[in-house]
């Protein structure tokens, strides 16, 4: 017999790759933190001698959920500003609070709270965008959480930096050295929005990103007013401007992408752009409904994000799965079923943030970022289809 660290025997197993379908009577073997094998349970008992056996006869085993976009430290300002559209919410509620309170200690405390919340909700990986990214990275590493840490870049001063040159310099320091080939932490550039940086700043950012092959994530076409203001100021839609400046390519993660034309969707697909879809935040801020069905039909990589707890009130990807699937049915695009939603929350998110070869599915060789969801509670019974119950009837508390 072959040794392994752990053998997991769930009632159902959903590998997500090669197909999002539920297997019964299967086991997953884990060694050295990686998935070793997925095989029939009887065969697993004969083949492997595990140090630990986990019997989960009421659970569905899935890949760890991926939060493809959040601002982890903003958990500390959860609920501080409500019932306002995005621009007013930022200007009247969020920015004054951040100016007064944001510091490295604030970011560490908020990130610790966010990671505890996400882990308890089955999220094993998140992509972050906030101030003091070096603190976010340190905290995620200390708590053994997989993370893609975005470094903010903008023209105006914040508690972290004073101008674009300082942002870019501090970002390059974080991106270039400490976390290259790190098993848990990777980095990316994260300009807040197209309005936050000048043409020259974006050009310099593009050169750095291209040289280091580092992803760039940016809030893009989140609201109709964002686009109207950009056109009035620059004569270009934000996507059009980023394209002119050379940032529309396979390194770009477009966050939200609510208001996009058919031509822009086609161009995103051709360029290999990824999208972080944040349905609950978009609804709460009145931003609109992103055409996720059109994105998937065009072949665009799409993951689910919670956005920050300040604009959502929770960091709950199970909730995002349910909301995303439901609103897709009224958005005039192809509707998502439960399997589609689970794929967006796992391999879709992992691929969108550049980690699809490391996590997001139960596949031999990938990291063993795994979650068991208990389907025995009354709200999940009876179970005719475990994926349907997971997405539409279960809870992140399970």
223 SS3 class: coil
Q: Which CATH architecture has domain 65-352?
A: Alpha-Beta Barrel (3.20)
Chain CA centroid to CA 240, Å:
24
Q: What are phi and psi of 51, to 5 degrees?
A: -75, -35
DSSP sequence for 210-275: HHHT--EEEEES-SHHHHHHHHHHHSS-HHHHHHHTT--STTEEEEE--S--HHHHHHHHHHT-EE
Query: What does the radius of gyration of the chain's CA atoms come to, in whole angstroms?
Result: 21
Residues 6+ apart with CB under 8 A from 154: 164, 167, 191, 192, 196, 197
How far, in Å, CA of 253 to CA of 367, rounded? 23
253: exposed, middle or buried (Cβ count in 10 Å: 0-12, 13-18, 19+)? buried
Chain CA centroid to CA 5, Å:
29
What would the pLDDT profile of 133-153 be if each residue is shown by its tens digit?
Answer: 999 999 999 999 999 999 999
57 membership: H or E segment, kind and range: strand 48-63
Token readout for 155 is 């023209």
Residues 6+ apart with CB under 8 A from 82: 93
What would the pLDDT profile of 173-204 be if each residue is shown by its tens digit?
Answer: 888 778 888 999 999 999 999 999 999 999 99
How far, in Å, CA of 52 to CA of 161, rounded? 48
Handedness of CA 325, 329, 333, 335 (dihedral sign): positive
How far, in Å, CA of 180 to CA of 189, rounded? 14
* Residue-level pLDDT at 180: 86
- On the CB side of 291, CA atoms within 13 Å amount to 17
* Residue-level pLDDT at 332: 61
389 membership: H or E segment, kind and range: helix 386-392
Cβ neighbours, 10 Å, residue 284: 18
Contact 296, 334 (CB under 8 A): yes
* Residue-level pLDDT at 126: 98
Domain edges within the chain? 2-63+362-392, 65-352
How far, in Å, CA of 291 to CA of 260, rounded? 8
Handedness of CA 339, 282, 259, 206 (dihedral sign): negative
- On the CB side of 380, CA atoms within 13 Å amount to 20
Residue indicated by tokens 């919410």: 89
Contact 193, 220 (CB under 8 A): yes
Length of the chain: 398
Contact 368, 40 (CB under 8 A): no
DSSP sequence for 134-169: HHHHHHHHHTT-EEEEEEEE-SS--SS-SSHHHHHH
Whole-number Cα distances in Å, 234 to 90, 202, 219, 226, 254: 22, 14, 17, 12, 20
Whole-number Cα distances in Å, 203 to 172, 210, 377, 391: 15, 11, 53, 42
Q: Which residues, given as ranges, of the chain have pLDDT below 70?
A: 83, 331-333
Q: Which CATH architecture has domain 2-63+362-392?
A: Roll (2.30)
Contact 13, 39 (CB under 8 A): no
Calculate helix-pair angle for 133-142, 104-120, nearest 10 degrees.
Answer: 40
- In 14-71, the DSSP E strands lie at 23-24, 26-31, 34-40, 48-63, 65-70
Token readout for 178 is 């400490």
How far, in Å, CA of 337 to CA of 283, rounded? 20
């Amino acid at each position: 017999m072959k040794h392994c660290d752990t053998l997991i025997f769930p009632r159902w197993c959903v590998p997500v790759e090669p197909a999002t379908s539920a297997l019964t009577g299967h086991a997953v073997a884990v060694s050295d933190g990686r998935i070793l094998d997925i095989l029939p349970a009887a065969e697993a008992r004969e083949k492997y001698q595990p140090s630990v056996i986990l019997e989960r006869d009421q659970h569905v085993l899935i890949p760890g959920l991926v939060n493809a976009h959040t601002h982890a430290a903003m958990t500390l300002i959860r609920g501080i500003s409500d019932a306002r559209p995005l621009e007013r919410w930022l200007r009247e509620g969020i920015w004054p609070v951040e100016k007064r309170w944001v510091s490295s200690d604030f970011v560490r405390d908020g990130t610790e709270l966010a990671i505890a919340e996400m882990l308890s909700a089955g999220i094993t990986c998140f992509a972050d965008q906030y101030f003091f990214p070096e603190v976010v990275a340190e905290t995620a590493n200390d708590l053994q959480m997989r993370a893609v840490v975005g470094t903010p870049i903008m023209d105006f001063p914040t508690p972290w930096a004073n101008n674009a040159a300082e942002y870019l310099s501090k970002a390059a320091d974080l991106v270039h050295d400490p976390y290259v080939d790190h098993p848990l932490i990777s980095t990316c550039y994260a300009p807040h929005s197209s309005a936050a940086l000048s043409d020259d700043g974006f050009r310099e950012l593009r050169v750095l990103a291209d040289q280091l092959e580092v992803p760039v994530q940016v809030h893009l076409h989140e609201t109709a007013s964002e686009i109207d203001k950009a056109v009035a100021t620059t004569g270009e839609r934000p996507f059009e401007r980023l394209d002119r400046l050379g940032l529309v390519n396979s390194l770009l993660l477009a966050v939200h992408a609510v208001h996009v034309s058919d031509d822009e969707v086609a161009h995103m697909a051709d360029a290999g752009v990824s999208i972080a879809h944040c349905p609950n935040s978009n609804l709460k801020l009145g931003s609109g409904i992103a055409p996720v069905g059109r994105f998937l039909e065009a072949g665009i990589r799409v993951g689910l994000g919670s956005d920050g707890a300040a604009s959502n009130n929770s960091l709950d990807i199970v909730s995002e799965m349910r909301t995303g699937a439901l609103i897709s049915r009224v958005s005039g695009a192809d509707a998502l079923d439960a399997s589609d939603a689970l794929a967006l929350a796992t391999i879709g998110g992992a691929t969108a943030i550049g980690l699809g070869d490391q996590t997001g599915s139960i596949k031999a060789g990938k990291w063993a970022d795994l979650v068991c969801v208990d389907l025995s509670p009354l709200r999940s019974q009876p179970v005719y289809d475990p994926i349907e119950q997971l997405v539409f009837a279960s809870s992140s508390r399970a």
